[in-house]
Amino acid sequence: MTNAKTQRQRTGTKHQMKLVSISLVSWLFGLLFLLSKFFVVDGQGLNATVTSLIMAALLFSLAYAPSLFWLRQRIGGCKPVLLFPLASAVVLNIPVFLIEILAIGRTLAPSDALACIVAFLLMGTVFGLGFVWNYQDTAL
C-alpha cells in the first residue's frame, strides 16, 4: 500500500514539474515574439513586455492549468486534441484580448496591441499543446 502511494506521489510530482516546464516554454515563445517585434522594429516595447509578463504569470497560474484540468476531467481525457490549444489560446485569452483592444489609443498603439494579442495566442497554443502532450496518456 505504501509503495503504491509513494509511486503515485512521484508520478504527480513528475507531471507537476512537466506542467511548470510547459508554462515556461510557452511563456518564452510569447516573450521571444514580443522581443522580436518591439526591440527590432521600434525599441519602445518595454512597458508592453512587462505588462505581458505579469499577465502571463497570472493567466498560467489562475486560468490555463486549472481550466484545462477541468476540461480534461469534463470530457474524460484529452480527445479531441485541438480542443485544448483552442481553449487556452482563444477562449481563456478573451479578457486579455479585450484589455488590449480597449487600450488602443490610450496606452498602446494598434501594432503593439496586435503584437500582444498574437503573443498570447502563441503562448496559449503552446501551453495547450504541451498540456495534451503531458496528460494524454495519464489516468483521470
pLDDT digit string (tens) for 2-17?
Answer: 666 666 666 667 877 8
Q: Is residue 140 part of a domain?
A: no
pLDDT one-digit tens code per residue, 29-82: 877 777 776 654 444 555 666 666 666 666 666 778 889 999 999 999 999 999
Which position has the higher pLDDT, 29 or 99? 99
Residue 73 belongs to some domain of the structure: yes
Q: What is the mean pLDDT of residues 13-30?
A: 80
Q: Does residue 35 fall inside a structural domain?
A: yes
Q: Find the domain containing 44 and state its range.
A: 2-135
Q: How many domains does the chain have?
A: 1
Residue of higher predicted confidence among 76 and 26: 76
- What is the pLDDT of the chain when averaged over all its residues? 81
Is there a domain that residue 117 lies in? yes
pLDDT number for residue 23: 81
Which pLDDT score, from 0 to 100, does residue 41 have?
A: 45
DSSP the chain: -HHHHHHHHHHHHHHHHHHHHHHHHHHHHHHHHHHHHHHHHTS--HHHHHHHHHHHHHHIIIIIHHHHHHHHHHHTSS-STTHHHHIIIIITTHHHHHHHHHHBTTTB-HHHHHHHHHHHHHHHHHHHHHHHHHHTTS--
- Determine the pLDDT at residue 18: 82
Amino acid 139: pLDDT: 79
pLDDT at site 83: 96
pLDDT given at position 94: 93
- Identify the pLDDT of residue 137: 85
| Rounded mean pLDDT, 77-102 | 93
| 79 belongs to a structural domain | yes
